[in-house]
């Protein structure tokens, strides 16, 4: 096998169903799972045995007492399962569906070898292999540094929305279910201290650093609103919203402030490309991103992708036109909700293209 194939990626991905599933890990189990999925190549169509150097995760050489600890970890991993619940249509009615999967089929360790050999269960292949949509990608190095399982889970939950939203609201009961905490931390103050505050402290130096507020109903804490602290840090003034967004009623009205002439439709025949928009096709592509609901950070990201020739303006324009068909306006009106969905759809197409290549 070529050395380039042996080298693991610096990021990992998984389906959003797995991001939101019900499961829990201890720290070493978490790192073994991460290293296992990090070995997956984007063109893999089945799982294979993965050799994992246990010293990379422990940070020290194994001593004489390590065998029992690693044996217990391997045994625990074989019993790990993920659980999911959703709604399905059955006989013209909506029914709840439960699904459960084991994570590993084999986990092997030979004393003195420093290596764990593991293979993931084929039943979870749809959540990790050949992903084309509805998946989340995260930085492996940041995840490997996390000690708390709560930090690990919240990192993924926030990462799922980070590309197109600065906040995410999650019901407290839903978080407890995801983390297998039913029956624990009955007092919200204890849940906040031991779960949310712990994750907030550990994620403070990562991309998913967050603040939060408690959402209450009838004086009872029912949900948490997570607010990403670094979500808007890279937005340029060119794309910044000045004041509240306008109420939209026409396809040609823009999401961002018309004070900036680049994004004002009335300037179509007046505004000439400048040093930033050195070509008319780049100008048109950038403008279509804004008028189709892509947020400021996204606009800047895809602009830079065009500058670096990772995306062509022609391709960007084509995707924006497809977005108008995929997420059409309703009742002759272009609402803010429709624009947000359209912008999210566009973002997903570009992200998938850059990660997996043109699906066609």
In this predicted model, what pLDDT tens digit does every residue of 304-315 receive, in sequence order?
888 778 888 888
Asked whether the beta carbons of 210 and 177 are under 8 A apart, the reply is no
CA-to-CA distance for 259 and 267, rounded, in angstroms?
A: 11
Q: pTM to 2 decimals?
A: 0.63
Average of pLDDT values for 166-177?
A: 90
Q: Of 156-160, 196-200, 262-266, 343-347, where does mean pLDDT reach its minimum?
A: 262-266
pLDDT tens by residue, 71-109: 999 999 999 999 999 888 888 788 889 999 999 999 999
pLDDT level of residue 61 (50, 70, 90 thresholds)? low
Reply yes or no on whether the pLDDT at 190 is more than 60. Answer: yes
Q: Token digits for 293? A: 């609901």
Beta sheet of 115-120, edge-to-edge order:
50-53, 115-120, 104-109
Q: Token digits for 262? A: 């680049």
Q: Which of 271, 275, 274 is nearest to 262 (CA)?
A: 271
- β-sheet bridge partners, residue 106: 119
Q: Kindly report the backbone phi and psi dihedral angles of residue 238, in degrees, each rounded to the nearest multiple of 5, phi listed first.
A: -55, -35
Reply yes or no on whether the pLDDT at 112 is more than 70. Answer: yes
299-326 as b/e, with b when 16 or more CB fall inside 10 Å? bbbbbebbeeeebebebbbebbeebbee
Reply yes or no on whether the pLDDT at 2 is more than 60. Answer: no
Helix (DSSP H) and strand (DSSP E) numbers for the chain: 14, 10
Reply yes or no on whether the pLDDT at 150 is more than 90. Answer: yes
Q: Which of 286, 358, 346 is nearest to 319 (CA)?
A: 346
The confidence score (pLDDT) of residue 234 equals 34
Average of pLDDT values for 108-127?
A: 92
- Tell me if residue 79 falls in helix, strand or coil: coil
Q: Which of 81, 119, 87, 116 is nearest to 102 (CA)?
A: 81
The string of DSSP letters for 261-321 reads GGG-GGGTTTPPP-SSS-SHHHHHHHHHHHHTT--HHHHHHHHHHHHTTSS-HHHHHHHHH
Domain 146-231, CATH class in plain words: mainly alpha
**CATH architecture of the domain formed by 1-140:** Orthogonal Bundle (1.10)
- Tell me if residue 258 falls in helix, strand or coil: coil
Instruction: Count other C-beta atoms under 10 Å from residue 13's C-beta.
Output: 19
pLDDT tens by residue, 10-58: 889 999 999 999 999 999 999 999 999 999 988 899 999 999 988 877 7
Same fold, 1-140 and 146-231: yes
Q: Which of 260, 250, 258, 200 is nearest to 225 (CA)?
A: 200
Does residue 244 or residue 65 have the better pLDDT?
65
CA-to-CA distance for 295 and 291, rounded, in angstroms?
A: 10
Domain boundaries, the chain: 1-140, 146-231, 237-356
Element (H, E) at 17: helix 16-19
């Amino acid at each position: 096998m070529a050395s380039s194939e042996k080298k693991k990626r610096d990021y990992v991905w998984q389906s959003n169903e797995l991001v939101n599933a019900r499961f829990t890990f201890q720290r070493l189990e978490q790192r073994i799972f991460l290293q296992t999925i990090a070995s997956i190549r984007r063109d893999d169509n089945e799982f294979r045995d993965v050799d994992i150097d246990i010293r990379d995760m422990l940070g020290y050489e194994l001593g004489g007492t390590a065998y029992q600890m690693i044996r217990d970890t391997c045994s625990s991993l074989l019993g790990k399962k993920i659980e999911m619940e959703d709604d399905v249509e059955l006989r013209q009615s909506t029914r709840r569906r439960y699904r459960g999967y084991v994570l590993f089929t084999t986990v092997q360790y030979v004393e003195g070898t420093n290596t764990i050999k593991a293979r993931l269960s084929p039943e979870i292949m749809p959540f990790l292999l050949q992903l084309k949509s509805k998946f989340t990608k995260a930085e492996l190095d940041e995840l490997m540094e996390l000690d708390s399982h709560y930090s690990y889970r919240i990192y993924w939950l926030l990462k799922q929305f980070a590309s197109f939203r600065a906040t995410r609201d999650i019901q407290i009961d839903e978080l407890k279910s995801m983390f297998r905490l039913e029956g624990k931390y009955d007092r919200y103050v204890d849940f906040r201290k031991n779960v949310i505050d712990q994750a907030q402290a550990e994620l403070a130096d990562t991309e998913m650093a967050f603040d939060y507020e408690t959402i209450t109903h009838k004086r009872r804490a029912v949900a948490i609103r997570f607010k990403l602290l670094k979500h808007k840090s890279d937005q340029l003034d060119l794309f910044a919203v000045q004041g509240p967004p306008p109420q939209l009623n026409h396809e040609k009205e823009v999401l961002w402030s018309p004070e900036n002439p680049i994004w004002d439709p009335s300037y179509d025949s007046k505004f000439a490309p400048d040093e930033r928009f050195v070509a008319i096709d780049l100008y048109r592509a950038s403008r279509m991103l804004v008028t189709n609901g892509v947020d400021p950070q996204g606009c800047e990201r895809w602009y830079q992708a065009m500058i670096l020739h990772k995306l062509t303006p022609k391709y960007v324009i084509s995707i924006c036109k497809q977005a108008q068909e995929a997420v059409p306006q309703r009742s002759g009106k272009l609402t803010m909700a429709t624009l947000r969905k359209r912008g999210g759809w566009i973002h997903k197409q570009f992200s998938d293209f850059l990660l997996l290549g043109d699906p066609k």
